[in-house]
Chain A
Amino acid sequence: MKSVKKAKSIAIVDYGLGNLFSIKNACEFSGLAATITSSAYDLEKASAVILPGVGAFGEAMRHLKKLDLVIPLRDLAASGKPLVGICLGMQLLMSESREFGANKGLEIIQGEVLPFNEKLSLSDFKVPHIGWNCIYHENDDARSKWCNSLLCNVPENAMMYFVHSYYCEPYQPEVVLSKTRYGGITFCSSFSSGNVHAFQFHPERSGREGLLIYKALAQLLLNNHKEEVDV
């Protein structure tokens, strides 16, 4: 019994930015035990790690460096263990950001983080992009990727809750899971590459549709655990 519980424990990375408690509540609601932590040891011990975040990219990277979490997070991505980036946490996975000059990211996913401001063509759209918006996939390849990802239970065109001024542009389009339109821009609102998953929106603030992502994560961990036991 104890090992099953351990197999489903989530570490939520606390580097001083963002509200981690709604993520913890969503994990627990979905049957996942969650710990808020800034210790590399806890990250290594957990079955999956969530990298959240609200605020500025450069500031966040400085905090991660100060806490000696950059290498552990890269190791984690390479280990095959699920790593989930949310909001700024998604952006941190990229190579670099253009927020207040160029800042290097965790360089786990090749690509960059771009500001809305430079490109918004419709003046009625405000930055930050705050509120609900649709996520969708563009073609059959993308649909099959969606159906095999943490979005598997989420209906197409579901609405999710966003709060951001920057967005990710992965260099490899095949990692893109969903897209979203805002102010004349189409941006990548989620991606996945192997064990690395990321969402620009907040699944834990996106009602029942958002919770389906946490439930899919719980299912994935259960399956991973079963495989381990079978081996």
Chain B
Amino acid sequence: MIRIIPRLDIKGSNLVKGVNLEGLRVMGKPEDFARFYYDQGADELIYVDAVASLYGRNSLLHIVEKTAKEIFIPLTAGGGLRNLKDIQNILRAGADKIFLNTEAIQRPEIIREAANAFGSSTVVISIEATKKTDGMYECYTDNGRIPTGIDAIEWAKRVAGLGAGEILLTSIDREGTGKGFDVELVRKVTDVVSIPVIASGGAGKSEHVMDVLKNGKADAVALASILHYRAIQELKVDPRAFTEGNINFLQSGEGFKKVEKVTLVELKNYLAEQGFTVRNCSPEVVG
């Protein structure tokens, strides 16, 4: 069964959203969005500390701790985790899975160590890739900032061999653009690994999600803009509540024209019509 996973990028105490992982706009409070998506039948949630690798700090712990007490679906958290101690701390805060990118590229053995210590199913490897002019997909670290020269498809095979439980695969080129997933990238990875692949970056409408599930053979999708811009309306986020970060967008009260805004319920209904099996909460228990 496919999984629909809202992705919450976090900077400081705010939920942010950029384009190509840059130009981060403040969207609201992550815990409000997390609760909203939980109520709407999200299958899991992913928290990404968008600036942790850059500054070597971790603002995730607090948000994970707060939400884990009231949200009972799998929570994956990452961004700036550097060692087993960092991983243990975030698991203790209530995350079920963690993801690694920068540290795994610098020291691939950490994947095996983390899988041995916490179980493979706890260890997600985040791969952020850009397509080069020669067609190669290159891995980046530090939330899409630093090129590595490493081939993303080869790296995917390697991390699976080292014991990763899942791959979170983000196309930096498509991220935040609403132009659709990089289906070619996703398919290249799903063809060479047998662990689940979560496709991320580019969803601008429901058809894009169907495309990457059907043609990219993704096991799950991570979605941000397509859900967040609708959630902002539903949550009626008040810009006066925010004092730090880029709040121009919130203050302007404008929409975001690059994506067709959908709710999780609408998206799942659409996918069900297209023949996918999706999880719907039993109506009698949704309260």
Contacts and interface: CB of A to CB of B under 8 A. Distances in A.
A54 interface: yes
Interface string B58-76: 0000000000111011110
A79 interface: no
Nearest to B217: A124
A208 B94 contact: no
A130 to B, nearest CB: 6
In this complex, the interface size class of chain A, counting residues with CB under 8 Å from chain B, is 20 to 34
Interface in B1-48: 1-3, 38, 41, 43
Nearest to B67: A25
A26 B72 contact: yes
B72 A19 contact: no
B72 A204 contact: yes
Contacts of A17: 119
A184 B73 CA distance: 26
A212 interface: yes
Nearest to A21: B94
Nearest to B75: A22
B285 A130 contact: no
Contact of A131 (B3, B69, B122, B281): B3
A224 B126 CA distance: 47
B92 interface: yes
**What does DSSP make chain B's interface, helix, strand, loop or mixed?**
loop
A205 B95 CA distance: 11
A22 B94 contact: yes
A206 B284 CA distance: 15
A204 B41 CA distance: 15
B38 to A, nearest CB: 7
A205 B279 contact: no
A22 B68 contact: yes
A132 B4 CA distance: 11
Contacts of A54: 118-119, 121-122
Interface residues of B, number: 39
Nearest to B115: A55
Interface string A195-219: 0000000101111111110000000
A208 B195 contact: no
B148 to A, nearest CB: 27
A171 interface: no
B56 interface: no
B96 interface: yes
Interface in A176-231: 202, 204-212
A208 B285 contact: yes
A211 B72 contact: yes
Contacts of A71: none
Contact of B72 (A128, A132, A207): A207
B38, B96, B118: residue with the most chain A Cβ atoms closer than 10 Å: B96
Contacts of B75: 22
B91 interface: yes
A211 B95 CA distance: 17
Interface string A99-114: 0000000000000000
Contacts of A210: 72
B122 A19 contact: yes
Given A128-B165, A208-B287, A133 B1 contact: yes
B93 interface: yes
5 contacts: A21-B92, A55-B119, A131-B196, A209-B282, A211-B72
Q: Which 6 pairs from chain A and chain B are nearest by CB? A: A54-B119, A55-B119, A132-B279, A163-B121, A208-B285, A159-B279
Interface of B: 1-3, 38, 41, 43, 68-70, 72-75, 91-96, 118-122, 165-166, 194-196, 219-220, 279-282, 284-287
Interface of A: 17-19, 21-22, 25-26, 28-29, 54-55, 126-128, 130-133, 155, 157-159, 161, 163, 202, 204-212
